[in-house]
Structure 1
């Protein structure tokens, strides 16, 4: 017969199941975004140690050191947020939605900034097919929007944590 099949669940259960699936996906995506950010920073540090200008490694210039140090600090915070979301997913923590919203709101922006810095500090080589930096930027940007923008996750966080308006 047409439309024959096995019902896997009640239709009323579909919405909560899809929400749980998207929540799990967003929490796991934060770990992938962290990996993108870590690769970008490591590649940038390695490149700035090897690339020379004025007979010095470009990584020895104070302005570049400061940019990479700022990025490293962001990455440490992103790691904490991503790990918290992964732990909340693994343990079924009651604040799972909060942990995932925080992770996506923060880690996705860090991944994009790390990839942008990677492309900029690698200079022209980063936009060639021979170097993967541009691919990491594309992945960071698409992942940032894949399961909700950072703004959407911040709005969700505002609903989850009832803070009074100023």
Structure 2
């Protein structure tokens, strides 16, 4: 993902319209990033469920082992909670701008960490193959970690949410 800062010092320019509300733009960016994180979670979970249905160890599909089933259930629970939060944040961005700051902070406080945990567990459940750079598990893992801290660590978003809720 390319990132850059462009500075136009002493460049001729003209104003094309009113400047956007900086807080509103940042909140919308947080919601958009949370939607991407939700996509990473869903892709990682779909991939590991398919793998658990196909991979055989000790004569049984690994998806039949209790430890794997529990981990997959935990991952699914995180995905469902994240989807509800992202849907609420997207609704707030479109329909209720007054609720957007809290919704955006909630989205980044929860979804960022949940995405990383799902991607981490996805990598671990793949076993040795998941640790190779060529495997998609590494792509999900790296994207999840980058997204988690792109707009600041989750603790900053939790602190902002607490301030907004006057806790």
Same-fold call, TM cutoff 0.5: yes
Structure 1's consecutive aligned runs of 4 or more residues displaced over 4 angstroms after TM superposition are none
Structure 1 unaligned spans of 5+? none
Which of 134, 151, 163 pairs up with 2:138? 134
- TM superposition shift of 1:125: 1.3
Q: What number of residue pairs does the alignment pair up?
A: 158
Tell me the SS of whatever aligns to 1:153: helix
- TM superposition shift of 1:123: 1.1
**Inter-partner Cα distance in structure 2 for 1:71 and 1:147:** 23
Which residue number in structure 2 is paired with residue 108 of structure 1?
112
- TM superposition shift of 1:106: 0.6
**Inter-partner Cα distance in structure 2 for 1:46 and 1:130:** 18
Which residue number in structure 1 is paired with residue 64 of structure 2?
60
Which residue number in structure 2 is paired with residue 79 of structure 1?
83
Report the aligned-residue RMSD: 1.6
Structure 2 unaligned spans of 5+? 1-9
Tell me the SS of whatever aligns to 2:126: helix
**Inter-partner Cα distance in structure 1 for 2:11 and 2:67:** 65
Which of 102, 123, 127 pairs up with 2:127? 123
Which residue number in structure 2 is paired with residue 6 of structure 1?
14
- TM superposition shift of 1:56: 0.3
Tell me the SS of whatever aligns to 1:6: coil
Which residue number in structure 1 is paired with residue 6 of structure 2?
none
